[in-house]
Amino acid sequence: MPQATFYQLSAKMLTLVEQRRASCRVIAKAWQVLGRVDVLLPDADTLTEIDNLLWTFHAGSFIPHGADPIEPVYLFLEPGLRRADAPGLILMEWDRPEIPLAPPADRLIDFIPVAVAARASARERYRLCRQAGYSMQVHPLES
């Protein structure tokens, strides 16, 4: 059964950089567990920021990543570019209610934003995952 995990970003993470650093920890863990992970981002600026943070968020760590599909952690912008052989899909700052599940992901990771106004899309994605038969989990994500 496929699994969806939603991480609730903490209100203690006041800045976007703090939120993104915490999200990078989740990306690192997903890569360690799954091997190949696709990270779908909403725009080029966010992709650049996450790319840079994956190099610096934790001293001494290395996560093989980039905007090339040959990378174990693949950063991309268009849902249609998802790799069929990557078991994990991470939605980073995804502000759309739909979930790109083609091809389907064995493991979907999403983030519930701090801003109350931005949570409606995350709630819809949660509902869609449950409807699609995903085993659902929600965890707090602290800084």
Predicted confidence at residue 111, as pLDDT, reads 95
Instruction: Report yes or no: 66 and 36 within 8 Å, Cβ to Cβ.
Output: no
Any idea which residue has 């995350």 for tokens?
Answer: 122
Identify the top-confidence range among 18-27, 36-45, 51-60.
Answer: 36-45
CA distance linking residue 12 with residue 104, whole number of Å = 33
Predicted confidence at residue 143, as pLDDT, reads 65
Band the pLDDT of 42: cuts 50, 70, 90. Answer: very high
- Go through the domains of the chain in sequence order and give each one's CATH number: 3-141 (3.40.50.10110)
Which residues are paired to 21 by β-bridges? none
Q: What is the mean pLDDT of the chain?
A: 91
Predicted confidence at residue 16, as pLDDT, reads 87
Predicted confidence at residue 62, as pLDDT, reads 81
Whether residue 139 has pLDDT greater than 70: yes
Mutual angle of helices 16-34 and 44-56, in 10-degree steps: 70
How long a stretch of residues is the chain?
Answer: 143
pLDDT in tens, 55-111: 988 777 789 999 999 999 999 999 999 999 999 999 999 988 888 877 889 999 999
Whether residue 23 has pLDDT greater than 70: yes
Sheet holding 37-40, edge to edge: 65-66, 73-76, 37-40, 88-91, 107-112, 3-9, 135-141
CA distance linking residue 112 with residue 121, whole number of Å = 9
Torsion angle (degrees, nearest 10) of CA 44, 49, 50, 52: 120
- Please return the burial class of 66, using the count of CB atoms within 10 Å of its CB with bins 0-12, 13-18 and 19+: middle
